Amino acid sequence: MGDEKVKDDALKMLGLFQVLPRLVVFDLDYTLWPFYCECRSKREMPSLYPHAKGILHALKDKGIDVAVASRSPTPDIAKTFLDKLGIQSMFVAQEIFSSWTHKTEHFQRIHRRTGVPFSSMLFFDDEDRNIDAVSKMGVTSIFVGNGVNLGALRQGLATFTQNSVPSETERNKRK
């Protein structure tokens, strides 16, 4: 499926949901691309997972900001690859640094930079420990097994909508 077809499908999908995140955050390694940066050379030409670019463009077209949270020990390679792929300028925040905090520090920085509350963020990652830690911060977090794709996007949007619907007790408090 080409980037334009994926983008069109993602835009249709985004149109089905009443509540959308203000910011979608992506891990890099094995989420946007199928490798670890530290195992590659800056001289190489990287590739994204097949649906990644179309999804990124659809989110931008819909007015939803995108950011990167990566625990890479080689941020220089990651940033070079984002540049080579022509997507570096798409991200409102790029927190790419080695860390033992399972991305909580990355999200604190993203929050400070963007002002977007954690509850208005959607996050995609391939590591359970990052999903668990970031979920506890109030971010809707989705595990991706083989990179971000339209199925993961649909799951993320559905889960985000569920998490955004006020509970019965919250609705009663407002009355």
Distance (Å, whole) CA 139 – CA 25: 10
Q: How many CB atoms lie within 10 A of CB 123?
A: 30
29 is catalytic: yes
Q: Which of 114, 109, 171, 104 is nearest to 138 (CA)?
A: 104
* Phi-psi domain of 102 (left: phi exceeds 0; alpha: psi -120 through 50; beta: other): left
Residue of 8, 9, 29, 65 marked active site: 29
Q: Catalytic residue among 3, 8, 27, 65, which?
A: 27
Measure the CA angle with vertex 162, ends 156 and 164; round to 5°: 100
Query: Is residue 172 classed as helix, strand or coil in its secondary structure?
Result: helix
CA 2, CA 138: separation in Å to the nearest integer?
Answer: 34
Task: List residues with catalytic annotation.
Answer: 27, 29
